[in-house]
Structure formats: C-alpha cells, structure tokens
Amino acid sequence: MTGVLVAVDQWLAGLSRISLETLAAGQQLAKARGVECSAVVLGEGITTLANGLSGKNLAKVFVVEHPLLKNYTADGYVHVLEQVVRQTAPAYVLFPHTYQVRDFAPALAARFEQVLVSDVIAIQDGPFL
C-alpha cells in the first residue's frame, strides 16, 4: 500500500509545473499522515521523465509506458489508472489541475464508487481526515 499516490502529468516531454506542485502537496500530505508518497506517470517514451522523478523523494515511481498511451484518451487513462490504484491501494490519490484530469478523473472516481474532490488548494487537519 502506498499512502499517497500522485498522478503526474507531462508537458513537452517534461513534468508540468502543476505536477510539481501536486507532488509537493502529496509529499506534505504523506508526511502529515506518516505514510509514503509515490507517483505514477503514463505515456510513451517517458523513460527520461520517469528517471527525473527518482530525485523527488518518492517511495516509488510507477511507470506505465505503452504506444497506446502516446496520445491522451480518457478511456485509456481511466483503464490504466484504475489498475494502478487497485494494485497499490493508496489512501489518497492526487491529480494535478489540468483539462485532461477534469476529463478522466470523474470516470475514474466512479469506478471506485468514490467522491472526487477537485480544485483543492489546501488541506487542514479536522474531523474528516
């Protein structure tokens, strides 16, 4: 089980700025909960990108590389991420705020019969966490 799983997004063969912010948020959440933070990256030809994540203080980096993931499709991302989440069983899954995430994340949440909370800018301890 990974405590926090961050799905990172790529931009021009590198990490998007918003993915770096999401990684930082995931690491903060993991530290506050006393669990590990890991990341997952999808695509084709992403070895360099995945290697770049090795220096980001993550417990694990899950890389899903396949020619069918070269171009984004909501169905493809939902299918792959569902398998990754089921296999890693994280307590929290964080996504960057992108148009792609807004496209596929509701369908992914529905597969798990879970609520998707979007547009989060902060997390504070309280009775629900």
Report the C-alpha gap between 106 and 118 in whole angstroms. 10
Give Dmax (Cα) for the chain. 44
Task: Give, in order, the Cα–Cα distances in Å from 9 to each of 41, 75, 116.
Answer: 7, 16, 18
* pLDDT value at residue 1: 62
Query: DSSP assignment, residue 39?
Result: E
* Burial (CB count within 10 angstroms: exposed 0-12, middle 13-18, buried 19+), residue 108: buried
* Domain regions of the chain by residue span: 4-111
Domain 4-111 sits in CATH 3.40.50.12780: no
Per-residue pLDDT of the chain (129 residues; tens, 9 = 90+): 679 999 998 766 678 889 999 999 999 999 999 999 999 999 988 888 888 888 899 999 999 999 999 999 999 999 999 999 999 999 999 999 999 999 999 999 999 999 999 888 887 776 655
Sign of torsion over alpha carbons 111, 19, 12, 46: negative
Model-wide pTM > 0.75: yes
